[in-house]
Amino acid sequence: MPESEQLLALYREMLIIRYTEEQLARSHQMGLIHGACHTYVGEEAIATGVCAHLRPDDAVFSTHRGHGHALAKGVSPHEVIAELFGRSTGCSEGRGGSMHLFKPEVGMMGTSGIVGPCILQATGAGYSFKLLKSDQIGVAFFGDGAVNNGAFHEGLNLASIWKLPTLFVCENNMYATEVPFAYSAGNPHVGNRGPAYGMESLTVDGNDVLAVYEAAGEAIQRARGGEGPTLIECRTYRTRAHAEGMRDAGYRTPEEVEAWKARDPITRYNGWLLENEEAGPETLAAIEAEVKEMVADAEEFARNSPWPEADTVSEHVFSQR
Amino acid sequence: MRELTFVEATLEALDSAMARDPSIFVVGEGIGARGGNFNTTVGLFDKYGPERLCDTPISERGFVGMCAGAAMTGTRPVVDFMFFDFILDAFGELVNQIAKMQYMSSGRLKMPILLRGAIGIGHSAATHHSGSYYPIFAHLPGFRVVVPSVPSDAKGLFATALQSDDPVLFLEHKSLLFNRGEVPEGEYTIPFGQARVAREGTDCTLVAIGSMVDKTLAACERLAEEGISCEVIDPRTIAPLDMETVLASVHKTGRLLIVDETFQPCGVGAEISAQVIDRGFDDLDAPIRRLNGAHVPTPYSPTLEEAIVPEAAEIEQSIRDLLAE
């Protein structure tokens, strides 16, 4: 069980992700976001539970649904919102948008518009860290849609044969856009696939932040200790549409969505903290108010930020050296 | 000066860079104890061990994507493809990730990855072991594309590639790998984007790439006996492309033929032609001509294979035709 301070930090981090995502959804409706916006609402426990164990020099590689990973890894809501607004103060200085959030200074090595490569790149980070004899680790977050891609097979095999310090976190939210995972996987138990590669693997409730925290903690300790990679399947659900502005019907039932909303990771954790007297209602309310204000400030910062200068468009194709 | 083969020259550059920089490692199939199918890493496994000379499964997409992640996190991978054709299984990792990473991250990530492989037609290698494909990569922003033609250039350009923070494709024509040539001792680098004038002349300009350089020089030797003076330019790097040297030469000669084994449509010759028309139109005394390998998959049978690659006699005839314009 984490210390009290850590328990509250987990709560605060999930709220940062939730409030930022809800702000982004509103901003999308107002036309302030120019491209795609895939929110992480409902899945906050996973990024939070994993990244709580990571240092700034650990490397995270993420997906198209990656705002939560960036925030949990230490990118500020200001830099995330500004990036989606296309402003020069965004974490990718307006060159990336939602699916290309980069802040290597805190180990956020990119969200991605392509499903799969993050698995290989996290494997490569593991290779670097092993070669450099450091105790850093590489972490890949990816959805169920990635595990039937060749990158999953090749990446897990390479990480296994060289015992790389890499953690593979599958966020199984049951749908690849609208294609059910139950339809597209011959073996729908991702958490059972590790042994096929000679690797530890397990399944956890991805809507239970403490379960994720515990499983990730053990796997990360093994990776840092040279004991190799782990695959963790986190069962979860996105409660908003695949992307903002998309229809969200025809492939899942309202009853299913409501059932998962009843398992909301933040509401559940709030209840757990109160029940176990880890925090009183005032403490939690104070955290909620503080985070709300931070996100409101971030939105204002983003909205008032300058656009990138058009004459910088050709910079950074190659290194400046 | 001492002579080395192409392979020995790049091996010398790789060895000295690896001795100096512990973040350099090599991956590929059979590049460990075996020393590489084309002897590209002979002796290095014993010196630097299995983590820095890392034999891989046949998993091209996997290890290329992995090396992208490694390059983002403080090491300098060298991917040895053996045959460059095998790179195509990793095309998405190259185009969507490796080429774009520096830009996507607004320059805060570097992509110091060297991708090498043997290209070109010959020895009945047939169509899965004969590709060159460099015009495809030159088309995309983010790649450095190197196609050397002599061992001394190979060594200097390889040394530059090992110091570059950009992704570099280093492509060695199979027919050149065991050619010998004079190679300076010690470490030296040759900058990208600087063509080499392989032969000076006044009557026409020939731009020749990779294995076509020697064949073009042989054609020029024969023509010289008749008093015809040709200038031969070896671009050495396709991206960046040194157009200044080409334009200066065309200014002098007024005639241009581009000789390239790779396909003609949308190729390097098309790009060079367009730039010369754009920037040197008034210097031209004749239409620009291109001589390329045939636009077909590579056939196996020697008679068919010979039919698709430009040879010295054909180059000679093309020069005569151009001079007759």
Question: B27 forms bridges with which residues in the sheet?
Answer: B54, B79
Q: Is B52 on the interface with A (CB under 8 A)?
A: yes
Rounded to whole angstroms, the Cα distance separating A171 from A173 reads 6
According to DSSP, the residues that pair with A203 across neighbouring strands are: A233
Nearest to B207 by CA among B254, B259, B251, B250: B259
In a domain, B245, yes or no: yes
Q: What is the pLDDT of residue A1?
A: 72
Within an 8 Å CB–CB cutoff, is residue B107 touching chain A? yes
3-state secondary structure of A235: strand
Q: Across the interface, do B70 and A93 touch by the CB < 8 Å criterion? A: no
Burial of A8 (0-12, 13-18, 19+ CB in 10 A): middle
Instruction: Please name the residue of chain B whose CA is at the shortest distance from the CA of residue A314.
Output: B103
Which residue, B136, B156, B182, sits at the end of a domain?
B182
**Residues B223 and B164 both lie in one domain:** no
**Are β-strands B3-5 and B180-182 bridged in parallel, bridged antiparallel, or unpaired?**
antiparallel
* Structure tokens, B146: 């190197």
Residue in B with minimal Cα distance to A320: B107
A174/chain B closest Cα distance in angstroms: 25
Q: What is the pLDDT of residue A69?
A: 98
B292 found inside a domain? yes
The predicted pLDDT at position A276 comes to 97
- Min distance A10 CA to chain B CA atoms (Å): 27
Asked if B116 and B207 sit in the same domain, the reply is no
Q: Do B246 and B213 sit in the same domain of this protein?
A: yes
Q: Are residues B61 and B128 in the same domain?
A: yes
How big is chain B, counted in residues? 325
Q: B167 and B18 share a domain?
A: yes
Instruction: Over range B170-181, report the average pLDDT.
Output: 96
Confidence check: pLDDT of B300 > 60: yes
A61 in contact with chain B, both atoms CB, cutoff 8 A: yes
Domain carrying residue B135: 3-182
**Number of helical H runs and strand E runs in chain B:** 12, 14
Q: Is B281 helix (H, G, I), strand (E, B) or coil?
A: helix
Residue B164 CA to residue B192 CA, distance in Å, equals 10
Domain count, chain B: 2
**B12-21 confidence digits (pLDDT tens):** 999 999 999 9
CATH number assigned to the domain comprising residue B112: 3.40.50.970
Contact call for residues A248 and A242 (beta carbons, < 8 A): yes
Do B207 and B152 lie in one domain? The reply is no
Contact A121 B97 (CB under 8 A): yes
**Residue B102 Cα, gap to closest chain A Cα (Å):** 6
B317 and B241 housed in the same domain: yes
Q: Are residues B70 and B98 in the same domain?
A: yes
A139: left (phi over 0), alpha (psi -120 to 50) or beta: beta
Task: Report the percentage of chain B scoring pLDDT > 90.
Answer: 100
Residue B160, classed as helix, strand or coil, is: helix
Q: Using an 8 Å Cβ cutoff, are B157 and B148 in contact?
A: yes
Question: Where a domain ends, among B149, B182, B215?
Answer: B182
| Nearest of B228, B238, B231, B207 to residue B135 by alpha carbon | B238
Domain presence at residue B142: yes
Checking if the pLDDT of B189 tops 70, the result is yes
Say whether both B142 and B14 belong to one domain.
Answer: yes
The sign of the CA dihedral B15, B16, B22, B26 is negative
The Cα of A89 is separated from the nearest Cα of chain B by a number of Å equal to: 11
CB A152 within 8 A of CB A146: yes
- The minimal CB distance from A154 to the residues B59, B97, B110 is found for B59
Where is the domain boundary, B182, B210, B228? B182
How far apart (Å, rounded) are the C-alpha atoms in residues B290 and B272?
Answer: 10
- Chain B hits for A121, CB-CB cut-off 8 Å, are 65-66, 68-69, 72, 97
Residues B69, B169 within the same domain: yes
Upper half-sphere CA count for residue A153 (Cβ side, 13 Å)? 8
Closest CA to B144 of B236, B274, B16, B248: B236
Segment (H or E) for A20 = helix A4-29
The answer for residues whose C-beta is within 8 angstroms of residue A171's C-beta and 6 or more apart is A43, A46, A65, A141, A142, A143, A144, A206, A234, A236
B322 and B257 in contact (C-beta within 8 Å)?
yes
The domains found in chain A, sorted by start residue, are 4-303 (3.40.50.970)
A284: Cβ contacts below 8 Å, ≥ 6 apart = A11, A270, A273, A274
Question: Is some CB atom of chain B closer than 8 A to the CB atom of A155?
Answer: yes
List chain A pLDDT tens, one digit each, 321 residues.
788 899 999 999 999 999 999 999 999 999 999 999 999 999 999 999 999 999 999 999 999 999 999 999 999 999 999 999 999 999 999 999 999 999 999 999 999 999 999 999 999 999 999 999 999 999 999 999 999 999 999 999 999 999 999 999 999 999 999 999 999 999 999 999 999 999 999 999 999 999 999 999 999 999 999 999 999 999 999 999 999 999 999 999 999 999 999 999 999 999 999 999 999 999 999 999 999 999 999 999 999 999 999 999 999 999 985
How far apart are the two ends of chain B, measured CA to CA in Å? 42
Determine, for residues A114 and B67 on separate chains, whether the beta-carbon distance falls below 8 Å.
no
Whether B173 is in a domain gets the answer yes
Residues B129 and B167 in one domain: yes
- pLDDT bucket at B184, cuts 50 / 70 / 90: very high
Q: What is the pLDDT of residue A2?
A: 82
Q: Each residue of A223-232: b (16+ CB within 10 Å) or e?
A: bbeeebbbbb
Q: Are residues B200 and B178 in the same domain?
A: no
